[in-house]
């Protein structure tokens, strides 16, 4: 089996929302990548880079794969931000505690200083929430959260 020599995935949790930020596998490392997704209980995988591997083995494990590519190093287009927020609102209201994984080309920004470039930083400084994620958590408490 091919060995994955990439940064380890990073899990981010907020209330009943879980995210896994991970690397972009190759077809050679796909088996180990799928096992890692299953270990974290991933139900949806969002790819924000050009397709570099076959998504069938991921989908065969009942993990939905969504492709929303945009240029590496750029902030996401408004349409992708809107689609992302809609996905999260739907996913976490229907399946609280589930995990959504996302990856770009290498995911290096998770592990090194200076990884956010000036275009991305400017985008984050000027970002204003377009919509809030509002839904009841499993304990019937009202929650709101804005996620970029």
Q: What is the pLDDT of residues 64-90, one digit of tens each?
A: 999 999 887 778 888 999 999 999 999
Q: Is 3.90.190.10 the CATH classification of the domain at 10-145?
A: yes
Point out the residues of the chain with pLDDT beneath 50.
1-2, 4, 110, 143-148
Tally of CB atoms within 10 A around 20: 20
- Closest to 16 (Cα-Cα) out of 132, 99, 82, 90: 99
Q: Which of 50, 54, 71, 72 is catalytic?
A: 72
The Cα 102–Cα 106 span in angstroms is: 11
Sign of the dihedral through C-alpha 19, 38, 32, 59: negative
Q: Is 104 a catalytic residue?
A: yes
pTM of the model: 0.76
Q: Is 50 a catalytic residue?
A: no
Tally of CB atoms within 10 A around 72: 12
């Amino acid at each position: 089996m091919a060995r994955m020599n990439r940064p380890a995935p990073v899990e981010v949790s907020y209330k009943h929302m879980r995210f896994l930020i991970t690397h972009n596998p190759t077809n050679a490392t796909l088996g180990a990548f799928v096992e890692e997704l299953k270990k974290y209980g991933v139900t949806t995988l969002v790819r924000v880079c050009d397709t570099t591997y076959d998504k069938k083995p991921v989908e065969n494990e009942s993990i939905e794969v969504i492709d929303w590519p945009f240029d590496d190093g750029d902030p996401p287009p408004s349409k992708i931000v809107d689609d992302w927020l809609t996905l999260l609102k739907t996913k976490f209201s229907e399946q609280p505690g589930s995990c959504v994984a996302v990856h770009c080309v290498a995911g290096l920004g998770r592990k090194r200083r200076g990884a956010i470039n000036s275009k991305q930083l400017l985008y984050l400084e000027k970002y204003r929430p377009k919509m809030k994620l509002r839904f009841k958590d499993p304990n019937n408490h009202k929650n709101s959260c804005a996620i970029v």
